[in-house]
Amino acid sequence: MDVRIKRVYDPAAPGDGCRVLVDRLWPRGVSKERAALDLWEQDAAPSPELRREWHDDPEGRDPDHFAAFAEHYRAELAEPPAAEALDRLVALAREHDVLTLLYGAKDERRNHAIVLREALLRRA
């Protein structure tokens, strides 16, 4: 099972396979054509409350804050509606050679798509 993550702002590539946006909000400045999505799975994204908590990080994405965010996000992924969205992503990953989870965050090392990918691979 090949599950990748990629910024939605990066150009689509033939090797991306099935492209799924996993953000709750549409990314600024990206047209639907440029995004080249197969699906927008909003329920797989962190809840609005958790998203606000993450963006309120005064330390600029400090690793301890990310660890706490990831723990809370994993808990959300275990409950509906996020758990159901995760199940749909697992099914897509099984149907396609490559599944690419698209996210809008600037930080490529600390973002929810990393946590989501790990949860998806564990569930699969």
**Sequence-ordered list of residues with C-beta below 8 angstroms from that of 37, at least 6 positions apart, any chain:** 19, 20, 21, 102
pLDDT beyond 70 at 59: no
Digit-coded pLDDT (tens) for 32-56: 999 999 999 999 999 999 988 887 7
Dist. CA 65–CA 94, nearest whole Å: 33
| Residue 60's pLDDT band (cuts 50, 70, 90) | low
What mean pLDDT is predicted for residues 98-103? 98
Q: DSSP assignment of 61-73, as one string?
A: S-HHHHHHHHHHH
Q: How many domains does the chain have?
A: 1
Q: Which domain holds residue 66?
A: 2-123
3-state secondary structure 18-54: EEEECCCCCCCCCCHHHHCCCEECHHHCCCHHHHHHH
pTM: 0.93
- Please report, as a single letter, which amino acid is at residue 103: Y
